[in-house]
């Protein structure tokens, strides 16, 4: 009986620590859900360089980006996200179109295979 109580006394603090850590994680997740990106909204502009066209960035509440690039009548949608004001891009389009830069400066560079250039946008 004493051995069982001793084991419980050893296990109880560990359970308490793990429970508190789990509650902290839940609270952090709730706080992140309530954050609204200051860059939320529609941004329009253009890109130029080895190829040129128009660019539309739809920034969601959490900083997700749905982008639409149009060149020579061809439209393509791509997806990205923001970390702060910086575009966290990956090749999520069929062509491999990738944006680099940030929305604080409203500009950056782009790359698509061996093609590259610059872009700029303004908030609508």
pLDDT tens profile 68-124: 999 999 999 999 999 989 997 666 778 889 999 999 999 999 999 999 999 999 999
Predicted model pTM? 0.72
The Cα 81–Cα 87 span in angstroms is 6
Residues 106 and 66 in one domain: yes
Domain shared by 76 and 113, yes or no: yes
State both tokens at 104.
């604080």
Q: How far apart are CA 17 and CA 13, in angstroms?
A: 6
Say how many domains are in the chain. Answer: 2
User: Do 54 and 99 belong to one domain?
Assistant: yes
**Structural tokens at position 119:** 């872009």
At 13-68, the pLDDT tens digits run 655 555 556 555 666 555 556 688 999 999 999 999 999 999 999 999 999 999 99
User: Domain range spanning residue 111?
Assistant: 41-123
Residue with structure tokens 């295979």? 113
Residues 26 and 74 occupy one common structural domain: no
Residues 15 and 47 placed together within one structural domain of the fold: no
Specify whether 13 is located in the same domain as 46. Answer: no
């Amino acid at each position: 009986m004493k051995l069982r109580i001793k084991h419980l006394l050893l296990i109880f603090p560990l359970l308490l620590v793990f429970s508190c850590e789990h509650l902290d994680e839940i609270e952090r997740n709730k706080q992140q859900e309530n954050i609204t990106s200051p860059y939320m909204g529609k941004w329009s502009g253009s890109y130029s360089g080895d190829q040129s066209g128009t660019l539309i960035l739809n920034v969601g509440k959490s900083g997700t980006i749905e982008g639409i690039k149009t060149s020579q009548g061809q439209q393509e949608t791509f997806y990205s996200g923001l970390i702060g004001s910086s575009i966290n891009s990956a090749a999520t389009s069929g062509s491999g179109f990738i944006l680099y830069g940030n929305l604080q400066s409203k500009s950056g560079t782009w790359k698509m295979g061996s093609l590259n250039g610059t872009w700029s946008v303004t908030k609508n």
